[in-house]
A and B are shown apart, each in its own frame.
Chain A
Amino acid sequence: MNIELFFQYIVAGITYGAIYSIVAIGFNIIYNTTGIINFAQGEFVMIGGMTAVTLHSFFPLPYAILLAVIITMIAGALIEIIFIRWLVNPSVLRMIIITIGISILLREAALYIWGEKVRGLPYFTGTSVSSLSIGGVHVSPQVLWVIGISAVIVVALNLFFSYTMPGRQMRACASNRDAARLCGVSASNMITLSFVLSAGIGALAGCVVSPITYVQYESGTGLAIKGFTVAILGGLGNSMAAVAAGLILGILESLSIWVMPTAYKDVISISILLLMLFVKPSGLFGSKEAASLKEF
């Protein structure tokens, strides 16, 4: 094993990690405001990717992506308004079951609209064969796009939650919904906003990863499982932690392929997840106190 190949494995791991973490970020926002995991998050990713591919035959790539993100955000808002908004004090379990239902509904709707065909946006830079060579290690430019866009999303979210009024109101709802309500914050509007935001981020994620992973009506589930793992691993609710945890998991998986048969790759990631849940349920970067405030 020469050093060049070692770094090639690392780069492969970064590729996996970048895909996992950009999907994981979306989980955190709804969790932050509502305390639930939105199991339809993977479907937002799929719808974003699918819509962008469809629109790309009419518009240039940047506009197609922008429109796809907006359409998915509207879909997110509608879903929240139709299925969740009118519930009076729903329990966490009920909300989770509802989101699972929504995910099945969206998957079937996508099958009806787009059929079972596999699609993908073109590579943002270059083509499917182009790669940047850094000292003999090859990396697809699309991977850099994924990492770059993840970084932009994380920074933008941090700014949004720290410095804007809606962002602060969302955080207020997250830590104590009743107190926030007493202060005049509309909790139900904040939950709608959180669905809109995470649908948008999911859609953007779907657009950037689709040249690498392709998108199909059922591809949301697979992406969501890994995204969910990474979100928990990093500590739910923390976007920065999700990116770090994603890269760690991706690199571990990739290195596992080096020494073990590939078939064990997912065993590695699930073992890590279980270990984490037993030893430090608040996640690698989460604090115990913050976790204990949540219902779930």
Chain B
Amino acid sequence: MKIARFFVLAVFLIIALAAAPVPAADTIKVGAILGVTGPASFLGAPEAKTLEMLVEDINKKGGVKGRKIELIIKDSGASPEKAISFAKQLIEEEKVFAIIGPSTSGETMKIKGIAEEGKTILLSCAAAEVIVNPVAKYVFKTPQMDKHAVIKIFEQMKKMGISKIGVLSSNTGFGKAGKEQIEKLAPEHGITILVNEVYDKAASDLTAEVTKLKAGNVQALINWSIEPAQSIVIKNAKQIGLDVPIFQSHGFGNIQYVQAAGPAADGVIFPAGRLLVAETLPKNHPQKALLAKYKKDYETKFKEDVSTFGGHAYDALMILVKAIEKAGTDKEKVRGAIETMKGFVGTGGVFNFSPEDHNGLAMDSFEMLTVKDGKFAVLTAAGAMKTEIAPKKKK
């Protein structure tokens, strides 16, 4: 019995040793803290896949400045505690050159200070504005601002003659940040919030919540969440006959939510990066070629639809690579190169960084999209008119 146990242990040890990666000499170590599994897996999983794909590609072509990139992905499961310990591990033990991620705003805020103290470049894939406002010397982010998404939605509402709205959001960091921006920006855009409700992120049905909106006679509904709830809410709204235009956050930019909601998703309006509508962009659009290539590479390699979230990791890594190409492998110089980078074309838009702006994206990086026959499409004036007229006919 004892001998058998010893053998089992020995076999395990051998496997563990064999599986451990042999550190290659003279590589550039890039750490990534991503929520590959857990509640933010729809962000972290495409981000991790994108990084793996890009790094493989870069290394095949000989690396950056002759040095290969060694990618160390840590799965935080969207837990801030894990993100903190991984950040410390990456900075102190692995001595990485830079960290990409985390996927969520809550985690990023927890490790903002750690990156700053460890003088390690952090390129966050999370959206909240607080990540780069106030500016931290070493902290950057690639997704568009929540604020810009909200303003885009309000401008669209103005065009459609909507002023009284209902807001639903989930009790997550993303939902909370969006809700705060909506509440803050609504008055200056002449929008009144009649009903403002927060639901649990694991909600299985939201019929009662949308009934409350119906009772409040709202002209439109904004939902701000990233969970399956964003499919559930549109379904329930249509089922109880709440015939108002439905707006979603940029979190809706993942085709699986459209597929999950089925015909209920048609007509939903939301702001998103241009990745989702790469085919329909005009030929001379600066992002067109890059978006089409990323989409094709990702979809052939992983056999799944590309999402804007993987794009955030794409931008983070490529910005870093571009800066290293320009400034060499000195951390301080690379940091400076990112901060002064102008006109970098990424999946999220055209980045123009400055010492005051560590995001670099302007509001025009968002496009208003809609869902048409189960597919994403650019919202045209005619499409918006149609959704606007529909509820009026009823009344």
Q: Smallest CB-CB separation from A19: which chain B residue?
A: B204
Segment from A75-83, A117-125, A151-159 that makes contact with B: A117-125
- Shortest CB–CB separation between residue B250 and chain A, in angstroms? 17
Instruction: Assess whether B344 is interfacial by the CB under 8 Å rule.
Output: no
State whether B197 touches A262 (Cβ < 8 A).
yes
State whether A265 touches B215 (Cβ < 8 A).
no
Q: Of residues 1 to 44 in A, which have CB atoms within 8 Å of B's CB atoms?
A: 1, 5, 8-9, 11-13, 15-16, 19
Q: Which of A13, A118, A258 contacts B257 (CB 8 A)?
A: A118
State whether B207 touches A12 (Cβ < 8 A).
yes
Q: A258 CA to B211 CA in the complex, in Å?
A: 8
State whether B239 touches A8 (Cβ < 8 A).
no
Q: Of residues 260 to 274 in A, which have CB atoms within 8 Å of B's CB atoms?
A: 261-263, 265-266
Instruction: Assess whether A178 is interfacial by the CB under 8 Å rule.
Output: no
Q: A131 CA to B257 CA in the complex, in Å?
A: 20
Cβ–Cβ < 8 Å partners of B181 in chain A:
none
State whether B263 touches A5 (Cβ < 8 A).
no
Cβ–Cβ < 8 Å partners of B257 in chain A:
118
The proximity string for B residues 184-205 relative to A, scoring 1 for CB distances below 8 Å and 0 otherwise, is 0000000000000111101011
Residue tally, chain A, CB below 8 Å to B? 48
Q: A127 CA to B39 CA in the complex, in Å?
A: 27
Cβ–Cβ < 8 Å partners of A138 in chain B:
239-241
Cβ–Cβ < 8 Å partners of B42 in chain A:
116-118
Given contacts A129-B263, A222-B202, contact A261 B197 (CB under 8 A): yes
Q: Which of B211, B215, B241, B260 contacts A131 (CB 8 A)?
A: B241
Instruction: Assess whether B212 is interfacial by the CB under 8 Å rule.
Output: yes
Cβ–Cβ < 8 Å partners of B231 in chain A:
118, 214
Interface residues of B, dominant DSSP: helix
- Shortest CB–CB separation between residue A118 and chain B, in angstroms? 5
Instruction: Assess whether A196 is interfacial by the CB under 8 Å rule.
Output: no
Instruction: Assess whether A176 is interfacial by the CB under 8 Å rule.
Output: no
- Shortest CB–CB separation between residue B215 and chain A, in angstroms? 5
Given contacts A8-B240, A138-B241, contact A13 B202 (CB under 8 A): no
State whether B200 touches A119 (Cβ < 8 A).
no
State whether A214 touches B241 (Cβ < 8 A).
no
Q: Of residues 226 to 255 in B, which have CB atoms within 8 Å of A's CB atoms?
A: 228, 231-232, 235, 238-241
Q: Smallest CB-CB separation from A115: which chain B residue?
A: B45
The proximity string for B residues 254-278 relative to A, scoring 1 for CB distances below 8 Å and 0 otherwise, is 0011001111100000000000000
Cβ–Cβ < 8 Å partners of B260 in chain A:
118-120, 214
State whether A116 touches B45 (Cβ < 8 A).
yes
Cβ–Cβ < 8 Å partners of B199 in chain A:
262-263, 265
Q: Which of B171, B204, B212, B241 contacts A257 (CB 8 A)?
A: B212
Q: Which of A5, A16, A127, A213 contacts B214 (CB 8 A)?
A: A5
Cβ–Cβ < 8 Å partners of B241 in chain A:
131, 133, 138
State whether B197 touches A11 (Cβ < 8 A).
no
State whether B211 touches A5 (Cβ < 8 A).
yes
Q: 3 shortest A-B CB distances, which residue pairs?
A: A116-B41, A12-B207, A222-B202
Q: Identify 9 residue pairs between A and B in the complex whose beta-carbon atoms are under 8 Å apart, listed by A's number.
A: A9-B208, A15-B205, A19-B205, A120-B260, A128-B238, A131-B238, A138-B240, A139-B239, A213-B205
Given A119-B260, A222-B202, A258-B208, 5 new contacts (CB under 8 A): A12-B211, A118-B231, A127-B262, A209-B204, A218-B39
